[in-house]
Amino acid sequence: MKIGFITFEYPPLEIGGAGVYALHITRELARLGHEVHVISPSVNGREVYSIENDVFVHRIPTIHKRFLSAPSFWFNLAKKYSKIRKDVDYFDVLHGNDVSDFSLSKWQVKEPRVVTIHHLAYLVAQVTPPLKRLLDISGETAFTPFIQKIVVSRADKIIAVSNFTKKTLVSYERIHSSVVEVIPNGINIEDYEFSQEEIFRFRKAIGLDDHVAFLFVGRLNDSRKNVLLLLKAFKFLCEKHKKPVKLVLVGSGDQLKFKEIVDSFGIGQSVIFLGHVKDEILRKCYVACDVLVSPSLLEGFGLTILEAMAAGKPVIALNRGAVSELVKDSVSGFIINKPDPQEFANVMAFLVDNADVIKNIGKRNKEYVAKNYSWEKSAKLTECVYKTLLDSA
């Protein structure tokens, strides 16, 4: 099968969960024997063609400046798609990663059309403060909800990464449930295997030593990720607990701004900022830390939660979006039902005092993920969606 896969996020321009999805699902589809052509933004502004991990990658000229990156990609995609399609002798199916194929009209696309939706942009707008929403001209809260509505309306099949995302598509976008297939993200659990010596050295290198370490992974400036709540919770924990604890923050954003906040809270010595890190370092962070904390106000799937579970760690998470599909309270972690920093602090304190609970939940999580999640499984289910569409064409 010849598959066209259009994605705005693709390494090395991987921004978040959608980029991780694009990388792994296309790689696994290629391993299944399909000819996969990824169409994504260029890195340096020039049009480039390459083969990466048996995937054919077509880089479209893109202006990497605020307000211009998405429009310039869409403009050039509309211009160049027909030629790419003809050069590869046409696709059997076209797959868009969220709103990436927005500029391709239904008259340009002759093949069956699939789109993967990670979460509804409309819901992101709902959990974003009004002023930030007003200023977010180029982000998810401005025009993306309208663009996403157009994209899903013309898809022959929609892949939702969780039951929550399917439910919101059906209720908010009035999509018939039969059009939407739920295919969860996968994971390569072997990527989280490191020697004890490696992790010991890594913990020492980032300043953890014998501290109980809590981990946060996400963009710090994204109000949806709710970092300030976590910092308040950690402040409460440090005030009431005498055991040595550390908080590790991994993700892009205004590091200086948040360092000033933690200093004002009096917890600067206990918070480690790592910024954006490479994939291998991120996986070491999951393994080296003891507990993942996810205070996010919206998760269409919860990839960081799955990654922590694959690393054998318990999760403390705010009960929003698809979180409860991954985290079972007191089984795979702890669910907090309201965004209260004191409640987060109480659960964090309980885990600091109960190393055996951390160990037992972590072991259970790793076994559960190994049994139920893999990118190969996600790719095979995606392949079934393609075949069903082609058989009914």
Checking if the pLDDT of 137 tops 70, the result is no
**3-class DSSP assignment, residue 177:** helix
Is the pLDDT score of 309 beyond 60?
yes
Which residues make beta-bridge pairs with 94?
4, 113
* Cα(25)–Cα(29) distance, integer angstroms: 6
Question: Of all residues in the chain, what percent carry a pLDDT higher than 70?
Answer: 95
Q: Please, are residues 161 and 176 in contact by the beta-carbon 8 Å criterion?
A: no
Give the chain's largest Cα–Cα span.
66
Shared domain for 231 and 116, answered yes or no, is: no
Residues 6+ away with beta carbon under 8 Å from 385: 114, 157, 159, 181, 183
Same domain, 379 and 311: no
pLDDT of 85: 94
Number of domains in the chain: 2
d(C-alpha 115, C-alpha 149), whole Å = 12
Q: Whole-angstrom Cα distance, residue 50 to residue 73?
A: 18
Tell me: do 216 and 182 sit in the same domain.
no
Contact 158, 169 (CB under 8 A): yes
The answer for 333, left when phi > 0, alpha when psi is -120 to 50, beta otherwise, is left
Confidence of residue 127 (pLDDT cuts 50, 70, 90): low
- What pLDDT does residue 145 have? 86
Please report, as a single letter, which amino acid is at residue 164. Answer: F
Please tell me the predicted confidence (pLDDT) of residue 241: 85
- Beta-ladder partners of 291: 214
- Identify whether the C-beta of residue 323 lies closer than 8 Å to the C-beta of residue 183: no
**pLDDT at residue 129, as a whole number:** 59
Residue 223's DSSP bridge partners are none
Is residue 355 located within the same domain as residue 215? yes
80: CB partners within 8 A, 6+ apart: 47, 60
Average pLDDT over residues 157-165: 97
CA distance 61 to 48: 8
What is the tens place of the pLDDT at every residue in 52-62? 989 999 999 99
Q: Return the number of other C-beta atoms located less than 10 Å from residue 193's C-beta.
A: 11
Instruction: Enumerate the H helices of the chain as residue ranges.
Output: 17-31, 69-87, 121-126, 130-135, 144-153, 163-172, 196-206, 227-240, 255-264, 279-288, 303-310, 323-326, 341-353, 355-372, 375-392
Pair of tokens at residue 257: 């701004």
Of residues 173 and 282, the one with the higher pLDDT is 282
Q: What is the band of 121 on the pLDDT scale with cuts at 50, 70, 90?
A: confident
Residues 271-296 have pLDDT tens digits of: 999 999 999 999 999 999 999 999 99
| 8 A C-beta contact, residue 382 and residue 115 | no
Residues 152 and 113 sit within 8 Å (Cβ to Cβ): no
Q: Could you give the CA distance from residue 310 to residue 367 in angstroms, rounded to a whole number?
A: 8
43 vs 115, more confident: 115
pLDDT at 191 over 70: yes
Q: What is the pLDDT of residue 45?
A: 77
Q: Are residue 51 and residue 176 in the same domain, yes or no?
A: yes
pLDDT of residue 285: 98
Q: Are residues 107 and 228 in the same domain?
A: no
Q: How many CB atoms lie within 10 A of CB 24?
A: 19
The two three-digit tokens of residue 102, written as one number:
């927005």
Same domain, 195 and 325: yes
Residue with tokens 């050039």: 76
Task: Check: CB of residue 155 under 8 Å from CB of residue 115.
Answer: yes
Structure pTM?
0.92
The distance of Cα 136 from the centroid of its chain, to the nearest Å, equals 20
Predicted confidence at residue 130, as pLDDT, reads 53
**277, 349: one domain:** yes
**331 and 242 part of one domain:** yes
Cis ω for the linkage preceding 12 (within 30 of 0): yes
Cα gap 212→349, rounded to integer Å: 10
Looking up residue 173, the CATH number of its domain turns out to be 3.40.50.2000
Are residues 384 and 347 both part of a single domain?
A: no
pLDDT band at 135 (very low <50, low <70, confident <90, very high): very low
Same domain, yes or no: 208 and 354: yes
When comparing pLDDT for 210 and 316, which is higher? Answer: 316
Range of the domain at 25: 2-186+374-392
Q: Please tell me what DSSP assigns to residue 8.
A: S
Give per-residue pLDDT as tens, 5-15. 999 999 887 66
Burial grade of 370 (CB within 10 A; 0-12, 13-18, 19 or more): middle
Q: What pLDDT shows up at residue 136?
A: 52
3-state secondary structure of 64: coil
Q: How far apart are CA 21 and CA 13, in angstroms?
A: 13
Asked if residue 79 has pLDDT above 50, the reply is: yes
* Segment 179-185 mean pLDDT: 98
State mean pLDDT over 249-264: 95
Q: Coil, strand, or helix at residue 45? A: coil
**Same domain, residue pair 31 and 95:** yes
